[in-house]
Copies of this chain bind each other. A is one copy, B any other.
Amino acid sequence: MTVPLLDVTTVPAYIAGRADLAEVVDATTLTVREVGDGNLNLVFVATDAAGRSVVLKQSLPYVRLVGESWPLSQDRILAEARGYDAAVRHAPDLVPRYHGLDVDRRVLVLEDLSAWSVWRTALDAGVATPGAARDVGRYVADVAFGTSVLGSSSEDVRAAVAASVNPEMCRITEDLVFTEPYVDHPHNSWDAALDADVLALRDAALLDEVAALKYRFLTAAQALVHGDLHTGSVFVAPPGTPGPAAKVFDLEFAFYGPVGFDLGALLGNYLLARARAAVLDAPAHHQAWLAGLAGETWDAFEQRVRDRWASHADTALTDGFLDAWLRQVWQDAVGFGGLKAIRRVVGLAKASDLQTLDGPERAAAARAVLRTARTWVQGRADVAGPADLPDLVLPDVVRPDRAVRHDAPRVGA
């Protein structure tokens, strides 16, 4: 189905028509602006005269970046709504306040977090965000625990698996993450200096591991996962904000999949931020902080799962099982993390961490990402925990003629 699209002129009447929003904003005094990149969705911020505001998100029926030649069902907002429903139930403080789905118009209404930053933007700017990595680890733990057989009955989980199917969006991930970067495909692009590095990825040993991880993505229906939990899907709080340091958004890829996929998306994107900081010679304390993010997220995830395990529903799942489960989730995360980093260098959707660097630095950072990511994918079975995670593999020569510029990190797009 295709529904009529909102624009800045029609949003006030739309909000006025929703009685459930009467207490949230004053529909008679709204100012509306369109925000967001508009690639997949329309996003509006509506602010009333008292300064109260909400965000409206409506799915577009195609990928605007590519054009109407890439149609995309507006039904993906139903998947996003399922994601928010689960997040509100299991990790309510770690997502924007959610005012529900209007299924007829394919519109979600959410808390306006314009005063917060997108985490990737903060990372690009060299800003440290204490607690954010911990909070997203807790987010993954709480949603995974609550939506899986760790925290719910198997009947409820099986019903939720059926209700949460999201084939069209999963297919995008399957193609962009697991397939296209490893073959000749028009979606791919990279700096010419990286030719050898990219082509080196196409050997049988690595491709076997990529296939194993793809199959795991396709078949491991463990929990309702976010499905695209990179640093661009996380808001970080302005300094001094009470409560959590991070909130997760953009849940339209939500589906029942492997818990390690979300954690891997974070690990892979931390790797991009690390590579950027390294080639920019960011201050040592900042680089050290970035190097610790993977452990911060994992430790928070593991601790939260262990805390909740005391109340787990199915006593046939033993404490020994939990230990083995955590090991497997961690290994999955490392493998998926490697692939999520590689796709950002080679595939369709680039990341500002690297794209906003100058050419030689960009190539050096990208090379470091590819080399490191590969060790993650192929070595994941031997990585017991964050302390053993293969470190960033910087090329021997980054840019010998480059001035140290840690005083002027770039702000990404």
Contacts and interface: CB of A to CB of B under 8 A. Distances in A.
Interface in A143-165: 148-149, 154-155, 157-159, 161-163, 165
Interface string A298-342: 000000000000000011111011001100000000000000000
A317 B214 contact: yes
A219 interface: yes
A168 interface: yes
Contacts of A162: 161-163, 165
Interface string A393-407: 000000000000000
A170 interface: yes
Contact of A220 (B155, B205, B219, B318): B219
A149 B325 contact: no
Contacts of A205: 320
B320 A208 contact: yes
A249 B211 CA distance: 34
A255 B148 CA distance: 18
Interface string A168-179: 101100100011
Interface string A123-158: 000000000000000000000000011000011011
Contacts of A165: 158-159, 161-162
A154 B170 contact: yes
A325 B215 contact: yes
Majority secondary structure, A binding face: helix
Contacts of A220: 219-221
A269 interface: no
A182 interface: yes
A72 interface: no
A211 B316 contact: yes
A70 to B, nearest CB: 15
B158 A316 contact: no
Contacts of A218: 149, 154, 157
Contacts of A318: 204, 207-208, 211
A258 to B, nearest CB: 9
Contacts of A179: 314, 316
A231 interface: no
Nearest to A320: B208
A237 interface: no
Contacts of A170: 154, 158
A317 B215 contact: yes
A377 to B, nearest CB: 13
A212 interface: yes
A352 interface: no
Nearest to A207: B318
B161 A161 contact: yes
A365 interface: no
Contacts of A149: 215, 218-219
Please list the 7 inter-chain residue pairs (A to B) with the smallest Cβ-Cβ separation, ordered nearest first.
A208-B320, A211-B321, A158-B167, A162-B165, A155-B167, A179-B316, A162-B162
